[in-house]
Structure 1
Amino acid sequence: MGLDSVELVMSIEDKFGIQIEDSEAEKIRTVQDFADIVFSRIITNPTDKCLTQIVFYRIRKVLRNLSSTEKEIRPDTKISELLTQTQLKEKWSLLKTELGLELPNLVALDFNPELGSHVKIFGIKTIKRTTPVSKGTIRQLVDWTISLNRDKFIDVEKISSKYEIERIICGITEDRIGVPISEIELHHSFTNDLGVD
């Protein structure tokens, strides 16, 4: 386990007020493994609120106003179906302002899909470009938004589901490791997929 991993574990321990034994920390391979360990340590307080539903309705309301579309906005609707490439920069900024929330940062491929998915140096594929945020779905946008705004939406003293733990861990991973939130999925390996040593 490298120093980045140790720092990530310590950040998660601090956030949830728990202790993860070294032997357990060494077994954490994926984001989901981390969430499972944290979930097993804390007592959840189930509530009737559905965080994803609340955030979805907020995003949908603002998107309806911004995109002026009659198209039904569903969780599986792609962001690119609602905001054209030419509208994206301006409308994304307005979406952030109207919601009053952090959203994932747009990347070069959002504005120019003709760019290769990898940066090449001397003809050798070296660096994979970040996946375009606009290719994500509204469901993914909801997840990313909750992770980025976890302190506004989730009270760690009143965790009500494993989902909330997963969103907090993804958000902290983005902060500590620097991997964009849109690139972090629960099945990702910290070392192989996210580059954590």
Structure 2
Amino acid sequence: MGLDSVELLFEIEENFGIQIPDLEAEKIYTVGDFADTIYKKIKTVPNQKCLTQVVFYRIRQAMVIMGNVRDNISPDSKISELLPIGNVQAEWERLQKEVQLKFPELVKMDIDKTIEQEVKLFGIKIYKRTEPVTEHSIKKLIDWVISLNFKQLIDIEQISNKYEVERIVAGIISEKMGIRINKIELRHSITDDLGVD
């Protein structure tokens, strides 16, 4: 484990009020491994409210205010198909303001659809651009919004399920390591995929 990984481990231990022994920490490779390790160490409290449902309703209500038909908005709906035509950045900010929660930042390809996904030099692919945020589903947006707003949406003393742990871990990684939330997946290796040394 490098210094950044150790710092991340301390941050997660502090947030959850747990200790992860060195032998267990050495076995944590992915974001999902982190969530699994934490989930085994905490007590859960049954909760009647479904967090994803609450956030979905807030997003749907905001999209209706922005001119969408309520029945056309589902968790599987593509974000770009629900944003009004025009200035994507301004509409994204308006949506975020209506929902009153922090949203992931848009990438260049969200704003300019003519940008190619691959960056090439002399015909050789150098790297692939970050996939547009708005090309994902509302369900994915809900995951990102919950992660970015975990301190506001999840009572860490009243965790009710593993999903909440996963969202908190993703939020901490994004916040502390400066990684865009839309680049963090449970299957991602902390070091190889996310670049945390």
Pair in the same fold by TM > 0.5: yes
In structure 2, how many angstroms separate the alpha carbons of the residues matched to 1:105 and 1:21? Answer: 35
- Aligned residues of 2:30 and 2:189 also touching (Cα < 8 A): yes
SS of structure 1 residue aligned to 2:94:
helix
The corresponding residue for 2:40 is: 40
- How far 1:56 moved relative to its partner? 0.4
Runs of 4+ in 1 over 6 A off after TM superposition: none
The corresponding residue for 1:11 is: 11
- Aligned residues of 1:56 and 1:142 also touching (Cα < 8 A): yes
Distance 1:85 1:130, change over 3 A: farther
In structure 2, how many angstroms separate the alpha carbons of the residues matched to 1:60 and 1:181? Answer: 21
- Aligned residues of 2:84 and 2:91 also touching (Cα < 8 A): no
In structure 1, how many angstroms separate the alpha carbons of the residues matched to 2:153 and 2:57? Answer: 14
- How far 1:14 moved relative to its partner? 0.6
| 1:139 matched to 2:139 | yes
Mean Cα deviation higher: 34-43 or 116-125: 116-125
The corresponding residue for 2:114 is: 114
Ranges in structure 1 where 5+ consecutive residues have no aligned partner: none
Mean Cα deviation higher: 70-79 or 18-27: 70-79
Distance 1:45 1:109, change over 3 A: same
- How far 1:120 moved relative to its partner? 3.8
Write the letter of the residue equivalent to 1:10: F
Ranges in structure 2 where 5+ consecutive residues have no aligned partner: none
Give runs of aligned pairs for residues 112-191 of structure 1, distance below 5 A.
112-121=112-121, 124-191=124-191
Mean Cα deviation higher: 60-69 or 14-23: 60-69
Write the letter of the residue equivalent to 2:99: L
In structure 1, how many angstroms separate the alpha carbons of the residues matched to 2:80 and 2:40? Answer: 38
Write the letter of the residue equivalent to 2:56: F
- Aligned residues of 1:109 and 1:132 also touching (Cα < 8 A): yes
In structure 2, how many angstroms separate the alpha carbons of the residues matched to 1:85 and 1:58? Answer: 21
Identity of matched residues, %: 52
In structure 2, how many angstroms separate the alpha carbons of the residues matched to 1:53 and 1:170? Answer: 19
In structure 1, how many angstroms separate the alpha carbons of the residues matched to 2:27 and 2:110? Answer: 36
In structure 2, how many angstroms separate the alpha carbons of the residues matched to 1:90 and 1:109? Answer: 15
Distance 1:191 1:26, change over 3 A: same
- How far 1:127 moved relative to its partner? 3.8
The corresponding residue for 1:103 is: 103
In structure 2, how many angstroms separate the alpha carbons of the residues matched to 1:30 and 1:174? Answer: 14
Write the letter of the residue equivalent to 2:145: T
Give runs of aligned pairs for residues 51-130 of structure 1, distance below 5 A.
51-69=51-69, 72-84=72-84, 86-121=86-121, 124-130=124-130
In structure 2, how many angstroms separate the alpha carbons of the residues matched to 1:65 and 1:119? Answer: 38
SS of structure 2 residue aligned to 1:126:
strand
